[in-house]
C-alpha cells in the first residue's frame, strides 16, 4: 500500500498522529506537492492519496472517493490567496501569476473572475514555492495566486496591498463550503488495505484535531510564522466530507461542467466508496 501525503501544514491534523507513531498505518508514505500527488495517483504509482478536488472529478471513473475525509473550509481558508496591488474588481486585463497552484484553486479563481468580479485578466504560470517567493517581485504582474504554506508566509510579510481569500469569496458567493482536496483510492487497489488505511487516517484526524496546539507549534517552526496564527489557521479548516460539503463540491463541479472544464460524467461519480 502506497499512501500519498501533501507536505503542507494543512495536512498536519491528518498525518501528525501517524508521524508521531500514535496511529500506525500499513503503508509506505509518499510526500509530494498537490500536483505531484495528482500525477502519481493517476499513473497508478499510489494506491490512496489526498488529491485536488478537480483531479478527482477528472479521473472519477478510476477512483473511489473515501468517506468523511477532505480538506475544506466554510468561510476563510487562509492558504488559498490572491495577493494584488489593486482591488480584484480592477484586475481586468491585468496579469495574474499562478504560483505553484493546484488546478482546483486556479479554476476557482477563474470562476470568481468571470462570475463574481466580472474581469478578464491574463494568467501566467510560474513555479514558486516558499523559498522562491522573493523571485515574484522581479516578474511583472498585478496579482499572484499562492496556495499552501507559501500563502501563509506571504500574508505575514504584507508585501501586497490587497489579499483576497478564495475560500471566503466562494462562501460569500454561494453560501456553501468549498472542498479543495479529497482522499481517493484507485479502484483496483485492495479493498481491505484501502479500508485499513482509511480507518487509520480517520483515527489520526481525531487525534490531530485534539492536539492542534502541538501541531500549530510545529507548523510555526516550519513556516517561520506565529504559532497563534498557525493555530487559527488549522482550527479554521474542516477535514470532514459531509452532505453539505458534497453540496458545495457538486455546485463547484456543475459550474466547471457548464464551461467544459470537467466531463459531464464527473458528477455521476461523486459517490463514496
- Identify whether the C-beta of residue 273 lies closer than 8 Å to the C-beta of residue 65: yes
> What pTM was computed for the model?
0.90
Q: Place 155 in a pLDDT band, splitting at 50, 70 and 90.
A: confident
Which fold does the domain 80-174 belong to in CATH?
Answer: D-Maltodextrin-Binding Protein; domain 2 (3.40.190)
Residue range 76-120, pLDDT digits in tens: 999 899 999 999 999 999 999 986 667 899 999 999 999 999 999
φ and ψ of 58, to 5 deg: -70, -30
Q: CA-CA distance, 262 to 138, in Å (whole number)?
A: 34
Kindly tell me if the per-residue pLDDT of 130 is higher than 50.
no
Let me know if 146 is exposed, middle or buried by CB neighbors in 10 A (0-12, 13-18, 19+).
Answer: buried
Q: Place 271 in a pLDDT band, splitting at 50, 70 and 90.
A: very low
Q: What are the Cα distances from residue 12, in Å, to 67, 133, 193, 238?
A: 19, 23, 22, 12
Chain region(s) in the chain for CATH 3.40.190.10: 2-72+177-269, 80-174
Let me know if 271 is exposed, middle or buried by CB neighbors in 10 A (0-12, 13-18, 19+).
Answer: exposed
Give the number of other Cβ atoms within 10 Å of residue 94's Cβ: 17
Q: Which of 59-68, 201-210, 256-265 has the highest mean pLDDT?
A: 201-210
Q: CA-CA distance, 271 to 273, in Å (whole number)?
A: 7
- Identify whether the C-beta of residue 270 lies closer than 8 Å to the C-beta of residue 60: yes
What is the grid cell recorded at 21? 507513531
Residue range 203-250, pLDDT digits in tens: 999 999 999 999 999 999 998 888 999 999 999 999 999 999 999 999
What homologous superfamily does CATH list for 2-72+177-269? Periplasmic binding protein-like II (3.40.190.10)
Amino acid at each position: 500500500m502506497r499512501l500519498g501525503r501533501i507536505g503542507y501544514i494543512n495536512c498536519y491534523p491528518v498525518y501528525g498522529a501517524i508521524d508521531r507513531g500514535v496511529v500506525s498505518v500499513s503503508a509506505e508514505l509518499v510526500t509530494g506537492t498537490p500536483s505531484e500527488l495528482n500525477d502519481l495517483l493517476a499513473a497508478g504509482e499510489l494506491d490512496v492519496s489526498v488529491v485536488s478536488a478537480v483531479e478527482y472529478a477528472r479521473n472519477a471513473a478510476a477512483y473511489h472517493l473515501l468517506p468523511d475525509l477532505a480538506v475544506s473550509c466554510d468561510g476563510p481558508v487562509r492558504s488559498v490567496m490572491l495577493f494584488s496591488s489593486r482591488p480584484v474588481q480592477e484586475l481586468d486585463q491585468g496579469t495574474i501569476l499562478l504560483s505553484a497552484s493546484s488546478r482546483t484553486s486556479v479554476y476557482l479563481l477563474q470562476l470568481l473572475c468571470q462570475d463574481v468580479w466580472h474581469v478578464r485578466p491574463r494568467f501566467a504560470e510560474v513555479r514558486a514555492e516558499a523559498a522562491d517567493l522573493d523571485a515574484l517581485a522581479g516578474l511583472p504582474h498585478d496579482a499572484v495566486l499562492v496556495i499552501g504554506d507559501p500563502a501563509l508566509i506571504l500574508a505575514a510579510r504584507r508585501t501586497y496591498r490587497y489579499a483576497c481569500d478564495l475560500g471566503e469569496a466562494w462562501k460569500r458567493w454561494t453560501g456553501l463550503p468549498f472542498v479543495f482536496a479529497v482522499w481517493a483510492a484507485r479502484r483496483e487497489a485492495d479493498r481491505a488495505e484501502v479500508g485499513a488505511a482509511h480507518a487509520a487516517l480517520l483515527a489520526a484526524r481525531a487525534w490531530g484535531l485534539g492536539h492542534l496546539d502541538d501541531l500549530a507549534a510545529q507548523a510555526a517552526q516550519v513556516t517561520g510564522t506565529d504559532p497563534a496564527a498557525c493555530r487559527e489557521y488549522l482550527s479554521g479548516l474542516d477535514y470532514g466530507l459531509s452532505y453539505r460539503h458534497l453540496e458545495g463540491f457538486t455546485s463547484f463541479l456543475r459550474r466547471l461542467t457548464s464551461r467544459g472544464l470537467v466531463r459531464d460524467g464527473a458528477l455521476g461519480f461523486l459517490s463514496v466508496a
